[in-house]
Amino acid sequence: MTHKTLVVTNCTSRKRLGASPVAFENSSAFRSLNHVASDWLRRRRGANCLLPAHSLYVGRAFSEALAVAGLLKAELSVVSAGMGLVSGSDLLPNYDATISSPNSALSLALASVNATPAQWWTALHSGEAPLAARIERCQQVCLVAMPSTYFDLVADDLIRLPAAAAQRLRLFTSMAGRHLVPRHLAHCVMPYDERLEGSEYAGTRNDFPQRAMTHFVRALGAHQRPLADARRAVAVAMERLVAPVLPKRSKKSDEELISLLMRGWRTCGGNSARLLRYLRDDMRVQCEQSRFRDLMKVVRTRLLAQEAA
């Protein structure tokens, strides 16, 4: 199928399905990357509680990409470490397979067979380059918004994208992500930086690429411009903004953060948003959202154990 406009974003760890997720069980049992892939594909096929991709994922990053796709009447594609490259209408199960954390089940499985995320992506697609192929079929502009971990995942795929297709490509990512974009596509990265946080499109690091894409489309209308003009429009917009001065926050270990969360639990009524602000604003400590979600699971488990004791 050929699409005039394409929006590509990454999946999220938060999902709407309440069913038990498809997940890896024992990373030490794998003998090779092909073994990891075949085991995962078998587990995927056994799932029967499904939602369309556009309804499955939760969070601002995905919501921003979904809104841009709707505004442009574009095809939505999702890069997923567990499902591969999927369309917004594809039916997916609840699953747990992320490369965003080195301690995730998938990351541990790949480490056990000395495989990289890019090699996993290739194995998941039987050696094909589905993202490059989908971008090449796009007739007009293709907007790709993903963090560095996902550009790392699809690095070998994008290397196979012909240079001729680059004129239609607009990439949105972090400073770290820029270094993972194949060299022949480096000029497709829109020059967004921390000055975006001085605009009405401010947010968290996790959703920076998608917020930049939203600004690109809604504030600048730059998706309608040629590649070089689009880059200049972003550069000019960034020059007009000033990055906010971030408060200094100390680093804490997981156990120290868990202790702080348990201490502030009652005051914040167990509310996740208030507890995150309590950590960052009251306690002045660093804690990214993905780490915070993992720690909250530990806190809830410990509090339940205390109540049962």
Count the neighbouring beta carbons within 10 Å of the beta carbon of residue 18.
8
Q: Where are the domains of the chain?
A: 6-239, 254-308
Q: Is the pLDDT of residue 6 over 80?
A: yes
Predicted TM-score (pTM) of the model is: 0.82
Confidence of residue 3 (pLDDT cuts 50, 70, 90): low
Q: Which residues contact 211 (CB under 8 A, 6 or more apart)?
A: 60, 64, 196, 201, 202, 203
From the list 218, 223, 238, 285, the residue with the least C-alpha distance to 258 is 285
pLDDT in tens, 147-158: 999 999 999 999
| Dihedral sign for Cα atoms in the order 130, 132, 138, 144 | positive
